[in-house]
Amino acid sequence: MFQEMLSSLETFSLKDLHHFKDRLDLLIQKKSYTEKNILDKRVSHRACVKISGTAEIEREREFFDQTHKINIQEMSTNGLVLTIPATVIQDDILITTFRLPSNGEKKIVNCKAMRVKEISSNGNGVYEVAAQAVDRSEIRAYREMLKKRGK
């Protein structure tokens, strides 16, 4: 089949071959972007940033009132990727606080951990977390779930 396609391409004009090549490049780019999306590590539509901030893990707020230092690596309109030295479990709710580098405005983003990957550095557990922004109703539902567990 591949040989038949190549032999049919030999009859095309140079202009048609360039047009075909452009279409083929676009198709390859689209397929590779789709394949990378399947792996859940997006290549585009996220801005690469280096922003420091703090995060509170909703699950820990029941027993501890502790904030953890975070480094935000990627940010989009509906989520972010960050590293945190505390143990994070998938579907945890994080309350992240940081200042925008452009104008210093304080931002608070409530997000849910969608993908958690452990990165070890110097023997300490550091986690890379991909989190999606959530609204207040989901936080209330999570708090209710924490209250009702074990009953």
| CATH code where residue 125 lies | 2.40.10.220
- Say how many domains are in the chain: 2
85 with 112, same domain? yes
Structural domain including 33 reads 2-38
66 with 131, same domain? yes
Task: Name residues whose C-beta falls within 8 Å of residue 115's C-beta, 6 or more positions apart in sequence.
Answer: 40, 90, 129, 130
9 with 71, same domain? no
Alpha-carbon distance of 108 to 55, in angstroms, equals: 9
The predicted-structure confidence for 7-28, as pLDDT tens digits, reads as follows 888 888 888 888 888 888 888 8
31 with 56, same domain? no
Cite the beta strand spans of the chain per DSSP E: 47-57, 68-76, 79-84, 93-99, 106-121, 124-133
80 with 100, same domain? yes
Alpha-carbon distance of 120 to 3, in angstroms, equals: 50
**pTM confidence score:** 0.64
> Which pLDDT does position 83 carry in this prediction?
92
